[in-house]
Amino acid sequence: MAIDGGPRTAVVIGAGVVGLSTAWFLQERGVDVTVVDRDGVAAGASWGNAGWLSPGLAIPLNEPGVLRYGLRSLLDRDAPLHVPATPDVGLWSFLARFALHCNWTDWGRAVQANMPFNEEALEAFDVLAANGVEAPTHDAPIMAAFANARQAVSLLHELRRINDSGLEIRYAALEGEALREQAPQLSSGARAGIRLDGQRYVDPGAFTESLASAVTARGATIRAGFRVSGVRAEAGGHTVVSDTGESLRADAVVLATGAWLNQLGKQWGVRTPVRAGRGYSFTVPTDEPVPGPIYLPAVRVACTPYQGKLRVAGTMEFRDADAPLYQRRVEAIISSARPLLSGVSWEERTDTWVGPRPVTPDGKPLVGATAVPGVYVAGGHGMWGFTHGPATGRMLAERITTGKLSAALREFDPTR
């Protein structure tokens, strides 16, 4: 049963990994949950991402090098970081705020703020796996590869900075054939590499679907096609209203809608903007089995074993969350990755996908209570929503059911 004084019922808006994790951990605390989504389970960024569970690499996006790289690539339509020419004043305002936070002081603050998520990330996945979520996670190092040793220096500096921040990631430098012994998909063009040990990966779509099955097996209802138009605060609870006029009543409401968070969040006092940093992916066959994830930092491409093939993911594209897939971005990923990979059938690609990742300007997600009592937010994790999703759900469920604001969530105030 729920803790006395805590909510007995909740509606979670959003059926991605963050929303479903929150639903699961609320159920663990005795709350009766209904999950609604405008499309369905894993319809946003939770399906086509790289599926890395790598808390040691889950660092904020506002690293100063990102700003320098972004300014250099601003006019390059094929660059991994792409901002289209647009009159969208809101986007340019967001990017200006983001640029102001691209300094080592703010980056360090964001790293420290995200530390609890990183520390609990894998444990939270293990809790779900031990209690009905059947999609497996796989232990494997991530192999970062470069065209030359000079390119590797930047990642080595970043890894040292990560370890100095209090996170821990083990790594080893490799060269030449030693690379291909561990990652046969790397071509002779990859002459230097860094093996990142102690990492995991997962099929993100399968995991999210399994998490949804576990939530429904515990008695929850998941409503696809329920597009929320508003939430009314009423005596004794809240009413969630759809665009067709249908309504659901609950003691608590959680907004976990990813890149669409601001559409409802503004009415609840959420002032920090969230923009869609869209990522692309596709799946390709390979001549040999893929033993583990491959990272190409110089071109911002992440590759993961996926259903006997290779999922290739890349790009940070600041465009409307609902904009169509742009084939040119897929071709740019292939062009940048092809020189470093071999035995990959690029022309036989399938599952081409684009998904919007929710990015905040200060590198910190939005997790906690809003200005409206009983209404909560969970989002804004940038590229690391999948890694941090279960830990977010566990911490927020505790906040909702006990009313206590933990030190871990203090920096993530959605009304900041």
Average pLDDT of the chain is 92
The helix or strand, by DSSP H or E, that contains position 333, with its residue range, turns out to be helix 327-337
∠ Cα 164 384 184 (to 5°):
85
Nearest to 391 by CA among 85, 35, 17, 87: 17
335: left (phi over 0), alpha (psi -120 to 50) or beta: alpha
Determine what percent of the chain is predicted with pLDDT higher than 90: 78
- pLDDT tens digits, residue range 131-172? 999 999 999 999 999 999 989 998 898 888 888 877 788 999
344: left (phi over 0), alpha (psi -120 to 50) or beta: beta
Q: How far apart are CA 240 and CA 227, in angstroms?
A: 10
Superfamily classification of domain 1-58+107-134+201-274+360-416: FAD/NAD(P)-binding domain (3.50.50.60)
Helix axes 17-28, 104-129, angle to 10 degrees: 60
Token reading at 84: 């289209």
> What is the pLDDT, as a whole number, of residue 68?
66
Fold for the domain defined by 63-100+141-198+275-359? D-Amino Acid Oxidase; Chain A, domain 2 (3.30.9)
- Helix, strand, or coil (residue 74): coil
> What is the pLDDT, as a whole number, of residue 12?
98
> What is the pLDDT, as a whole number, of residue 289?
94
- Under a CB-based contact definition with an 8 Å cutoff, are residues 18 and 378 in contact? yes
> What is the pLDDT, as a whole number, of residue 2?
45
- pLDDT tens digits, residue range 304-360? 999 999 999 999 999 999 999 999 999 999 999 999 999 999 999 999 999 999 999
- pLDDT tens digits, residue range 111-140? 999 999 999 999 999 999 999 999 999 999
- pLDDT tens digits, residue range 234-269? 888 999 999 999 999 999 999 999 999 998 998 899
Q: Return the residue matching tokens 């009304």.
A: 415
Kindly write down the DSSP assignment for every residue of 97-134, as one continuous string: HHHHT-SHHHHHHHHHHHHHHHHHHHHHHHHHHTTT--
The helix or strand, by DSSP H or E, that contains position 237, with its residue range, turns out to be strand 237-242
Q: How far apart are CA 383 and CA 398, in angstroms?
A: 24
Average pLDDT for 71-78? 64
Within a 10 A sphere around the Cβ of 323, how many other Cβ atoms? 13
Token reading at 61: 């996006």
What are the b/e assignments for 285-320, b being 16+ CB within 10 Å?
ebeeebebbbbbbbbbbbbbbbeebbbbbbbbbbbe
On the question of pLDDT at 3 being above 60, the answer is: no
- Under a CB-based contact definition with an 8 Å cutoff, are residues 341 and 187 in contact? yes
What are the b/e assignments for 219-234, b being 16+ CB within 10 Å?
ebebbeebebeebeee
> What is the pLDDT, as a whole number, of residue 343?
95
How many angstroms separate the Cα of 87 from the Cα of each of 92, 341, 380? Answer: 8, 38, 24
Task: Give the domain ranges of the chain.
Answer: 1-58+107-134+201-274+360-416, 63-100+141-198+275-359
Within a 10 A sphere around the Cβ of 50, how many other Cβ atoms? 24
Q: Return the residue matching tokens 């930092």.
A: 297
Helix boundaries (H) for 241-326: 261-265
Distance of CA 300 to the CA centre of its chain: 15
> What is the pLDDT, as a whole number, of residue 1?
38
> What is the pLDDT, as a whole number, of residue 75?
60
On the question of pLDDT at 67 being above 80, the answer is: no
Sequence-distant (6+) residues with CB within 8 A of 144 are: 152, 155, 193, 194, 195, 196, 294, 295, 296, 297
Token reading at 107: 């980056």
Kindly write down the DSSP assignment for every residue of 17-59, as one continuous string: HHHHHHHHHHHHTT-EEEEEESS-TT-STTSSS--EE-GGG--
Global confidence as pTM: 0.92
